Amino acid sequence: MITPLGTGTEKSWQGLIEGRPAIGRITHFDPEGYPCQIAAEVTDFEIDKFIDTKDQKKMDRFIHLGLAAATLAMEDSGLAITEANADRVGVIVGSGVGGLPAIERYEKILLEKGPKKVSPFFIPMTIINLTAGHISIRFGAKGPNSAVATACASGTHAIGDAFRLIQNGFADAMICGGTEAVITPLGIAGFTSMKALSTRNDEPGRASRPFDRDRDGFVMGEGAGILVIEELEHARNRGARIYAELIGYGLNSDAFHITSPSSSGEGAARCMESALKDAGIAPEQIQYVNAHGTSTKYGDEIETTAIKRVFADHAYKLCVSSTKSMIGHLLGASGGVEAVICVLSIKNNIVPPTINLDNPDEGCDLDYVPHKARALDLNIAMSNSFGFGGTNGCIIIRRFIES
C-alpha cells in the first residue's frame, strides 16, 4: 500500500490500526477560493527510490504511485519472473481517472506556448493502461496485460478479473490492484460542483465521517494498492508466503443512474450475493465487511440497506468499517488498498475502525467499529466497491489454512 498514511504497507497499516486521520489542507495546489480545500495527500513519497529521474517525466503521478506499489509488492512476494515463466505472469491495474494532472498541465502549455511544446510523452503519461504497461516492462511480465476503468470500483474489478484469469488457466500469477492521483484544481472543482466533497475545511481530520449523521461528502485521497495473487499450487511449489486466499468475486450494474445508486440498494446487494455464490459460502460465514463507506449522505445509507438485504439478522453481527474515514476516498485505488486491508485484518486478527462516527445516522444502525480498532478472530472478510455509472464490485478473502 501507498496511502496518505505513508509509503509502504507497514506505515499505512499502523496508521489505520491507530485510527489516525491523514487529511489536511491541500498542498498540491493553492486551494484558496475553492469550497473544498482539504484532501488526503501522500506526503512521504520519495520517487527517486523507485523510478529513475529520466523516466519520471514519462509518467504522471498515478503511474509513479502504482509502479512503486507494484515494486514493493513484488519484493514482498519473492516472485521471480524468468524467461521460463514470463508469459504466465500478467498485470491488471485499474484507475478511475488516470493522468488528470498532466492533462491540466499540458492544456495550459498548449494554450500558452503552442502545440510544439506538448511533450511526446503526454499521451503515454496520461492513459490508464500505462500503469500496467510500466509494471510489465519493469518486471518482464509477458502474460495477460490489461487495465480497468470502472470509476471507484476499478481496483476491485482489477483484482477480480485477475482472479478469473488464473482460475481459467490464462496465468499462474497476476500483479493487480488500483492507483489514483487526481488531487488537482479541476479534479477538486469537478467533484465539488457535484456536491460530492466535504467542505469541512476547518476540521480536516474530522471531515470524512462515514455513517455519521453530520457527514457532508467524501474527502479526495490518492495512493495505490497492489497485490500479487497466484494459483495455489504455483505458490506452494515456490514456497511463497501465503497471506490469505481469494475465494469469491462478484460484479454487476445498478442500471439506474450515472452517479447515484438505487435507493433500495438492490444492485449492491446482488453484487454481494454473487460474490458469496462464487465463493460457495453462506452469508453467515462473513465476519467483516470493509465497506465502500465514502461518507456521502445517500451512499452510506444505501450500502447499509444492501448489507441488511444480503445478511438479514446476521448483518447486526458483522463488523463493518470504512477505512476511508482515515485516508479519504482513493477513487480507482480504493479497492486495491481495501483488499490489502482485508488481507492484513485476517493475518493480524484485528479490524480497523471507522473514526469520526460520533452520531450514527438514523438509517445506519450496524456495528461500524467506531473510533478504535477491534481484535477479532477473523477468517473471512468481504470488500465492497461501488462506482459511478452504477458499476459494483465485491471480493471475498479467507484465511488460508494449509491442508
- State pLDDT tens for residues 22-42: 999 999 999 999 999 999 999
Q: Tell me the three state secondary structure of residue 385.
A: strand
pLDDT of residue 263: 85
Q: pLDDT tens for residues 317-335?
A: 999 999 999 999 999 999 9
The CATH code for residues 2-398 is: 3.40.47.10
Grid coordinates of 150: 470502472
> What average pLDDT score do residues 394-402 get?
96
The secondary structure element, H or E, covering residue 396 is strand 391-398
Residue 176 annotated to the active site? no
Q: Tell me the three state secondary structure of residue 75.
A: helix
Grid coordinates of 73: 509488492
Sign of CA dihedral 208, 286, 363, 350: negative
Edge-first strand listing for the sheet containing 145-148: 6-7, 2-3, 223-230, 173-180, 89-94, 145-148
For residues 286 and 382, what is the distance between their CA atoms, to the nearest angstrom?
7
The label of the residue with cell 474527502 reads 219
Catalytic residue among 36, 152, 342, 364: 152
Q: Which of 389, 320, 357, 40 is nearest to 209 (CA)?
A: 357
pLDDT of residue 260: 85
Task: Burial-class residue 29 by CB neighbours within 10 Å (0-12, 13-18, 19+).
Answer: middle
The secondary structure element, H or E, covering residue 92 is strand 89-94
Rounded alpha-carbon distances, angstroms, from residue 58 to 31, 124, 160, 186: 27, 7, 29, 22
pLDDT of residue 317: 98
Beta strands in 255-379 (DSSP E): 288-290, 319-321, 350-351, 374-375
| Mode of pairing for the β-strands spanning 319-321 and 288-290 | parallel
pLDDT of residue 259: 87
pLDDT of residue 6: 98
CA 252 from centroid of its chain's CA atoms: 18
Lowest mean pLDDT among 92-106, 260-274, 308-322: 260-274
Domain spans, the chain: 2-398
What is the rounded radius of gyration, in angstroms, for the C-alpha atoms of the chain? Answer: 20
For residues 169 and 109, what is the distance between their CA atoms, to the nearest angstrom?
47
Residue 152 annotated to the active site? yes
Instruction: Name the band, by pLDDT with cuts 50, 70 and 90, for residue 121.
Output: very high
Tell me the residue type at 393.
Answer: G
pLDDT of residue 386: 97
Q: Which of 365, 22, 366, 332 is nearest to 158 (CA)?
A: 332
Rounded alpha-carbon distances, angstroms, from residue 170 to 167, 174, 181, 229, 237: 8, 10, 30, 13, 18
Q: pLDDT tens for residues 160-193?
A: 999 999 999 999 999 999 999 999 999 999 999 9
pLDDT of residue 335: 98
Instruction: Name the band, by pLDDT with cuts 50, 70 and 90, for residue 316.
Output: very high
Is there a contact between 299 and 386 (Cβ–Cβ < 8 Å)?
Answer: yes
> What average pLDDT score do residues 246-273 get?
94
Model's pTM, two decimal places? 0.97
Grid coordinates of 350: 484485528
Percentage, residues of the chain above pLDDT 90: 98
Q: pLDDT tens for residues 56-95?
A: 999 999 999 999 999 999 999 999 999 999 999 999 999 9
CA 198 from centroid of its chain's CA atoms: 19
What is the chain's mean pLDDT, rounded?
Answer: 97
Tell me the residue type at 180.
Answer: E
Within 240-330, residue ranges assigned H as helices are 266-279, 297-311, 324-327
Sign of CA dihedral 274, 275, 276, 278: positive
| Mode of pairing for the β-strands spanning 319-321 and 350-351 | unpaired
What is the widest separation between alpha-carbon atoms in the chain?
65
pLDDT of residue 402: 85
Is there a contact between 178 and 93 (Cβ–Cβ < 8 Å)?
Answer: yes
Is there a contact between 182 and 28 (Cβ–Cβ < 8 Å)?
Answer: no
Other C-beta atoms closer than 10 Å to the C-beta of 169 total 9
Grid coordinates of 39: 484532501
Q: What is the DSSP letter of 328?
A: -
Catalytic residue among 292, 342, 364, 394: 292
Residue 134 annotated to the active site? no
Q: Which of 29, 140, 33 is nearest to 88 (CA)?
A: 140
Is there a contact between 130 and 186 (Cβ–Cβ < 8 Å)?
Answer: no
For residues 215 and 82, what is the distance between their CA atoms, to the nearest angstrom?
50
Catalytic residue among 28, 134, 157, 329: 329
